[in-house]
Amino acid sequence: MTQDEVAKALSDVELVPCAEMALADARRLVDACLEADVPALVHREACAKPGCSPKFQVLVRPEDGVRVATLLQQRWMDSIQREGVLAQGAAPFVLPASEEGEPPCPACGTVAPLVEGACADCGLQLE
């Protein structure tokens, strides 16, 4: 997504913070969200406490919360695998499948049958 697309998607809608972190981390998360077609932006949270370090929030639409959670989970699992710290024989945490056995989409979290090999919601090609 481009910044213009983000501005258009987020204008006149309710935004909620989905994460609070240092500026560099917030920018990386927003970049990852935009790559996954999730409109997001960085917002500086005001803190009135003396000596408080700057905090930044990543803001998204409420309906995108599950997609961001899935994205954060995938980034976390990628870092665990990259660092080799997953205990041998341990199963990584994954979002539960639906009652029909459909796994959640790794991009948006939608739990539904694929449509021509792609996620029914976001269109991510999975097969």
> For residue range 26-35, what is the model confidence (pLDDT) as tens digits?
999 999 999 9
pLDDT of residue 30: 92
pLDDT tens-place string over residues 80-117: 878 877 666 555 555 555 566 667 777 677 788 888 88
Q: Residue 15 has which token pair?
A: 């935004």
Length of the chain in terms of residues written:
127
51/26 Cα distance (integer angstroms): 21
pLDDT of residue 32: 92
More confident residue, 86 or 57: 57
More confident residue, 99 or 123: 123
DSSP string over 40-86:
-EEEEEP--STTPPPEEEEEE-GGGHHHHHHHHHHHHHHHHHHHT-S
pLDDT of residue 4: 83
pLDDT of residue 104: 75
43/25 Cα distance (integer angstroms): 12
Mean pLDDT of the chain: 80
pLDDT of residue 35: 92
pLDDT of residue 100: 61
